[in-house]
């Protein structure tokens, strides 16, 4: 049983960290903080938030120290990341998992933050949230759908319920029909694959695996799905939910072999033979409209109807 964080309420204090890359525009952090402060929350920025060391926001130790501190501090109620990018996996060996497990708090982010979700799920035993970072919360980028599902997940005492399409004109690709239920686990495909063979390796057995990806050619998607299949991660899952992949099309290049198959072709080749419920097309991850998913919560997948439901409350009052 995973430990659940406290429901986010007005007056709570949000600690903000950058465990991956620094924000290109520092004003994005200011705008995100302003959004929450205007809604009655307090915002505390970590010490190393805007540093830059190579690809990352500070050294590995500095970024890990910021994360450990935000979980350790009793005056911090939730921990938000600014954005993804690159570098979260570099701090995994420096995190105090025992301390974090005893101080369960809302932790939210996506993309590169997948490394942290999977590590905290496995090593700290806490429920986390795959959803938008602080820098998404501004009038230019934040959609009504993204905002609605964010607050449903972190500030509502009821389960999130159905993860609906953001646009009724869009299509849900039913790869395999059927129904199943289990804990949600997953995130970005590249980062999921990067956990294999490490102490933070994803556990998919009997769970509903959700996967999102962006700007990746179909032949590279094929490579990563082959890696997951070879590691036994696909066949052990109870069900699979593929997000609305963003810009995953062949590019103009010549790697020495034909690259004209689509992402749907790749999904069909790897998932159809499994005969487990599987769908593709929900707004998860690198999409304009983004659903927030509680990682570790119980869910129900009705692949015959192309629907996913979060059936377990992710927070406690």
Both tokens of 14, joined, read 């949000």
Instruction: Count CB atoms within 10 A of the CB of residue 215.
Output: 12
Cα–Cα distance between 293 and 314 in angstroms, integer? 9
Task: Residue 281: name the closest of 248, 251, 238, 311 by CA.
Answer: 248
Task: Residue 54: name the closest of 81, 21, 76 by CA.
Answer: 21
**Residue 163 backbone class (left: φ over 0; alpha: ψ -120 to 50; beta: rest):** beta
As annotated, the active-site residues are 111, 212, 286
Handedness of CA 243, 246, 252, 254 (dihedral sign): negative
Task: Residue 298: name the closest of 150, 183, 190 by CA.
Answer: 183
Residue 79 DSSP class: E
Distances in Å between the Cα of 273 and the Cα atoms of 15, 176, 238 are 45, 9, 14
Which residue blocks in the chain are alpha helix, DSSP H?
Answer: 27-38, 60-72, 97-101, 114-119, 144-154, 189-195, 218-230, 263-271
């Amino acid at each position: 049983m995973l430990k659940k964080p406290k429901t986010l309420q007005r007056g709570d204090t949000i600690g903000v960290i950058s465990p991956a890359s620094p924000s290109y525009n520092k004003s994005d952090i200011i705008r995100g903080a302003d959004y929450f402060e205007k809604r009655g929350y307090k915002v505390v920025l970590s010490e190393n938030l805007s540093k830059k060391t190579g690809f990352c926001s500070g050294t590995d130790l500095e970024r890990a120290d910021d994360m450990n501190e935000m979980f350790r501090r009793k005056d911090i109620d939730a921990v938000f990341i600014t954005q993804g990018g690159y570098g979260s996996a570099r701090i995994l060996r420096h995190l105090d998992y025992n301390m974090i497990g005893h101080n369960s708090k809302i932790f939210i982010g996506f993309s590169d933050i997948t490394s942290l979700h999977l590590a905290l799920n496995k090593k700290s035993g806490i429920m986390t949230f795959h959803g938008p970072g602080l820098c998404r919360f501004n009038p230019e980028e934040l959609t009504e759908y993204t905002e609605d599902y964010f607050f449903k997940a972190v500030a509502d005492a009821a389960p999130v319920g159905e993860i609906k399409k953001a646009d009724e004109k869009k299509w849900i690709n039913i790869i395999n029909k059927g129904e199943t239920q289990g804990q949600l686990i997953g995130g970005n495909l590249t980062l999921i694959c990067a956990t294999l063979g490490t102490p933070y390796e994803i556990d998919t057995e009997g769970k509903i695996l959700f996967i999102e990806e962006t700007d990746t050619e179909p032949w590279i998607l094929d490579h990563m799905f082959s890696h997951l299949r070879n590691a036994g991660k696909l066949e052990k899952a109870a069900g699979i939910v593929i997000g609305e992949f963003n810009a995953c099309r062949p590019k103009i290049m010549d790697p020495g072999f034909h690259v004209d198959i689509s992402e749907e072709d790749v999904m069909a080749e790897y998932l159809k033979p499994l005969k487990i419920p599987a769908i593709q097309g929900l707004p998860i991850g690198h999409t304009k409209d983004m659903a927030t998913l509680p990682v570790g919560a119980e869910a129900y997948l009705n692949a015959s109807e192309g629907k996913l439901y979060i059936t377990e409350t992710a927070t406690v009052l």
